[in-house]
Amino acid sequence: MKIQHRYTFPLVTLTAAIVTAASGNVQAADVDFHGYARSGIGTTSGGGDQACFQAAGASAKYRLGNECETYAELGLGSTLFEEEGKSFYFDSLVAYVNEQANDFESLDGDTSDGNTIALRQVNVQATGLVDAAPEATIWAGKRFYQRHDIHMNDFYYWDLSGPGGGIENIDLGIGKLSLAWLRNTSQDNEFPDSQQNLANNTFDVRLAGLSTNPDGQLELGYDYGSATLTKAQDNAGVDPQSGHMLTLEHTQGNWLGGFNKAVVQVANDGMIGSTGKSNTSSTGPQGEMLRLIDHGLVNLSPDIDMLYALIYEDRDLDTGDGQTWMSAGIRPTYYWSETQSTALELGYDRVKPQGSGKDTANLAKLTIAQQWSAGRSAFARPVLRAFATYAHWNGNGYNAASESIEDGESNGVTLGLQAEAWW
């Protein structure tokens, strides 16, 4: 709203200059700097670097006081053009990983030493270009695409990120429709040339924003994974496994001061996987998967909130190599002030192989962390933490520790300091 002003300016030149300055024609405006980072230091009781604990076969681990690497995502984006309701936004992001073992850790692309760099986003998103759906965004490039995750254990249960393109958020009135084509490439031992890539495609259709009840919305998604072969690959007799995945996610807002998400996913063959990216190679899974998830955040009192997660995933493979993964975790946090809190995280994972004669892996982890954060919230960042973690597992079956703890041991304690930020 314009400020009402008494003064008048009869000069046409001055008025024209004001109009030009106030127009919406913006080119090459401000740059957005966004990202994520975590880093720290730790040790294991008994000696050695900090160990991290994860149940064998589990797709994730409860992360508080249980992250052993430095990981950062640094991104730059900018609205390159904007005029009359049409805009073009460029986004980019590079990810960095290292073992946080030394000062100078070269990111030379050798992933075997845990130090690497990866280009994860380079894309353009344009809005307002489709006359029939001016609210929709068309895009192409490498992109984090509509990811769904559980923060507590860093589990991305619906994530098809990668190179692709599509159109998203077409307003149908009852909800928003998005269509996308994404790619993830793999190898296949049956290829005559081991350097050949298998071009796995995923075609994603999702309808979001379906109102179901007060403060509740439903999102439906269908993913079809398949691969297109070259003539040489076809002649080699490669038979890529296509697959399908259905996702239903209900989000309940105004849920005890927070939110709850209930998810049902069913998939088969090449779409069985942690994120929904297809794997059509000859070594890919064949069978069926059912995954049930419930996770969210609640405010137990003005000074206590709690993250929680429940996961049940059953991979029933034709080869008998499937498994059932069950996971439960809570992270209550007490806020002493706007900047200080104490968090407790209790997590339990159990992975039971499909076949008989194989050991079930279980793991319980308990972490207490004193935190200093910019704000009072489960999602307030940056945050600095001092933590202590205790983990227990069936050591006669496997070793849940990443390092510093011998095979056959069944428990471990770690201590450390960590910083985490996103912006």
Q: Which is nearer to another protein, 61 or 261 (CB)?
A: 261
Site for another protein in 1-20 (CB under 8 A): 1, 3-7, 9, 11, 13-14, 16-18, 20
234 touches another protein by CB under 8 A? no
328 touches another protein by CB under 8 A? yes
423 touches another protein by CB under 8 A? yes
CA distances from 36 to 22, 75, 144, 160, 329 (A): 35, 9, 13, 19, 23
Part of the chain binding another protein (CB under 8 A), chosen from 23-31, 233-241, 377-385, 393-401: 377-385
Q: Which is nearer to another protein, 5 or 231 (CB)?
A: 5
Residue 207's identity, in one-letter code, is L
Token pair, residue 110, equals 């050798």
Residue 245 burial by CB count (10 A; 0-12/13-18/19+): exposed, middle or buried? Answer: buried
Q: Which is nearer to another protein, 105 or 294 (CB)?
A: 294
Binder among 94, 246, 256, 266 for another protein (CB under 8 A): 256
299 touches another protein by CB under 8 A? yes
CA distance 39 to 27: 37
Total residues at interface with another protein (CB under 8 A): 78
CA distance 234 to 191: 9
Q: Which is nearer to another protein, 101 or 300 (CB)?
A: 300
The CB-of-289 to another protein minimum distance in angstroms stands at 16
Residue with tokens 């160990």: 51
The CB-of-375 to another protein minimum distance in angstroms stands at 6
Burial 117-131 (b: 16+ CB within 10 A, else e): eeebbebbbbbbeee
The CB-of-157 to another protein minimum distance in angstroms stands at 11
Asked if 352 and 369 touch (Cβ cutoff 8 Å), the reply is: no
How many C-beta neighbours within 10 Å does residue 137 have?
19
The separation between CA 220 and the C-alpha centre of its own chain, rounded to angstroms, equals 18
Token pair, residue 315, equals 């991979």
78 touches another protein by CB under 8 A? no
Part of the chain binding another protein (CB under 8 A), chosen from 58-66, 363-371, 379-387, 410-418: 379-387
